[in-house]
């Protein structure tokens, strides 16, 4: 049996010179920060939501509410590991993942290969695609879209 998941995560960004940002579970240098309750790793958030959606068991906000103080600055990798455990208990594993990251200010060109390799390891899946594109205008937003297929273990 296969299940298909799809999700989008969108956040505002603010200019913060010589800063850093977590994306795909790694820290990158950036002059912009993602405004978020957690660590702001919207790539992992889109994967989390796609897994939960494919399983039909809710969404990221139900498991990691931004109104719960214990989730303030939570590590997105911890969140993903909990959701992967749910996925395994449901009898599924990830077959493939396709991610598109959109930002005018946070550029992934120097990080994409390493990010893809890290995601392959974290997700235990060789079929990981990570693409990056731009808004083509000065938007202070970032967006991550994720589509994935889960298959029975």
Question: What does the pLDDT read at residue 37?
Answer: 87
Q: What percent of the chain has pLDDT over 70?
A: 100
Bridge-based pairing state of the strands 128-133 and 141-152? unpaired
Mind listing the domains of the chain with CATH numbers? 2-152 (3.30.1330.50)
Q: CB burial class (10 A; 0-12, 13-18, 19+) of residue 90?
A: middle
pLDDT over threshold 90, residue 58: yes
pLDDT over threshold 90, residue 25: yes
pLDDT digits (tens, 9 = 90+) for 100-132: 999 999 999 999 999 999 999 999 999 999 999
Mean pLDDT to the nearest integer, 133-144: 92
Contact between 80 and 48 under an 8 Å Cβ cutoff? The reply is: yes
pTM: 0.95
């Amino acid at each position: 049996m296969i299940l298909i998941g799809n999700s989008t995560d969108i956040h505002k960004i603010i200019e913060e010179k010589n800063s850093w940002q977590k994306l795909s579970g790694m820290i990158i240098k950036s002059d912009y920060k993602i405004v978020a309750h957690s660590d702001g790793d919207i790539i992992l958030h889109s994967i989390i939501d796609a897994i939960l959606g494919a399983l039909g068991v809710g969404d990221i906000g139900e498991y990691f509410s931004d109104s719960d103080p214990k989730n303030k600055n939570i590590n997105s990798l911890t969140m993903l590991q909990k959701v992967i455990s749910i996925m395994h208990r449901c009898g599924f594993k990830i077959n493939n993942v396709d991610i598109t990251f959109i930002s005018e200010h946070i550029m992934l060109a120097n990080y994409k290969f390493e990010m893809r390799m890290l995601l392959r390891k974290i997700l235990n899946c060789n079929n990981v695609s990570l693409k990056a594109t731009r808004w083509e205008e000065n938007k202070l937003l970032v967006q991550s879209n994720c589509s994935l297929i889960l298959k029975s273990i």
